[in-house]
Homo-oligomer: A and B are copies of this chain.
Amino acid sequence: MYQDANYIDGTTRLYGIVGDPITQVRSPEMVTGEFVSRGINAILLPIHVPVDDFKKVSRNLKKIANLDGLIFTIPFKAEAMRLADRIGPQAEIVGALNVIARRPDGTWAGEIFDGIGCVTALKSEGHSLTGKRVHLIGAGGAGSAIGVAVAHEHPASLTVFDMDPERAAALAARINRVDPAIAVAVGPWIPGSTDFVLNASPVGMLDDARNPLGTDLIPPATVVFDAIVKPEETPLIRAARTCGCQTVPGRLMMRGQIGRIVDFFLEQKR
């Protein structure tokens, strides 16, 4: 004999994370856990939307009357800008967003929290970026947010690598608009040239066995961060650990932004 589930009913408010693929996401259990700990009857769902259907499906998800917010992950963070009626300050600089929330007047507010999440994760592990040399891999939605948030910490230098050199150059320009004193360059990592390596590309996600650095040899003084949340130990993180580096996994970036995202969802409802 079954028992009714005690965590969902007709009055449960819906939130979702939209991505393609979706099975790697951690926010359903983390954001839902945060709702529960605050005594709110709400749940965050994994929503797998194929790339070709994103435009129509995302527009129609917003019409569900008991759905109050969405998180966007790979590959939708830039395209999601179209879904917000007002754009928060971080998203404005970055040109991408990872969260939209319904407002009482029926409009939607958007913001990006990836960068805040990454910096918060590094700080929670005792790492300050100020005055340091940083290499960032990936200049997409998450990478741009991380680049901008790192710039606000005033590192000495920041090099940006992306498969698309123009995208890397565009992010480099944004970084210098935040802080012109940072020595910004575009290009691949030069072994030993930086204190931090931050991966914000999808290389190494799920079954992808590649290390985005292209080498498993990393000087042990390097702090290595990976934005990927599944697997917990990406090929990059595994190589870094083998080399004796300190590592910060993507799960901590998610944790660093969960509270901020739930605050944002709830603030916009007022």
| Chain B neighbourhood of A228, CB < 8 A | none
Whether the pair A37, B2 counts as a contact (CB closer than 8 A) is: yes
Whether the pair A50, B63 counts as a contact (CB closer than 8 A) is: yes
- Identical subunits present: 2
Which of A8, A23, A34, A44 is the most central at the interface, judged by chain B CB atoms within 10 Å of its CB? A8
A interface bracket (residues with beta carbon within 8 Å of B): 35 or more
| Chain B neighbourhood of A230, CB < 8 A | 10
| Chain B neighbourhood of A25, CB < 8 A | 10
Within 8 A of B (CB), among A28-82: 28-30, 32-34, 36-38, 43-50, 53, 56-57, 59-61, 63-67
Specify the chain B residue showing the minimal Cβ separation from A66.
B48
Contact of A245 with B by CB under 8 A? no
Distance between A124 CB and nearest chain B CB, rounded to angstroms: 13
How long is the Cα–Cα vector from A43 to B44 in the complex, in angstroms?
A: 11
Whether the pair B37, A65 counts as a contact (CB closer than 8 A) is: no
| Chain B neighbourhood of A50, CB < 8 A | 63, 65
How long is the Cα–Cα vector from A2 to B6 in the complex, in angstroms?
A: 18
Which of A6, A45, A49, A67 is the most central at the interface, judged by chain B CB atoms within 10 Å of its CB? A45
Whether the pair A7, B10 counts as a contact (CB closer than 8 A) is: no
Whether the pair B8, A29 counts as a contact (CB closer than 8 A) is: yes
How long is the Cα–Cα vector from A11 to B24 in the complex, in angstroms?
A: 8
Whether the pair B60, A56 counts as a contact (CB closer than 8 A) is: yes
Query: Contact string, A1-23, partner B, CB cutoff 8 A, digits 1/0?
Result: 11111111111101000001011
Specify the chain B residue showing the minimal Cβ separation from A56.
B60
Contact of A238 with B by CB under 8 A? no
Whether the pair B33, A2 counts as a contact (CB closer than 8 A) is: yes
Determine which of B1, B8, B30 lies in contact with A32 in the assembled complex, contact meaning CB atoms within 8 Å: B8
Indicate whether A9 sits within 8 Å of B46 (C-beta atoms), given known contacts A3-B33, A33-B2. yes
Whether the pair A5, B33 counts as a contact (CB closer than 8 A) is: yes
Contact of A26 with B by CB under 8 A? yes
Whether the pair A23, B10 counts as a contact (CB closer than 8 A) is: yes
| Chain B neighbourhood of A20, CB < 8 A | 65
Distance between A14 CB and nearest chain B CB, rounded to angstroms: 6
| Chain B neighbourhood of A46, CB < 8 A | 8-12, 14, 66
Determine which of B2, B6, B9, B67 lies in contact with A34 in the assembled complex, contact meaning CB atoms within 8 Å: B2
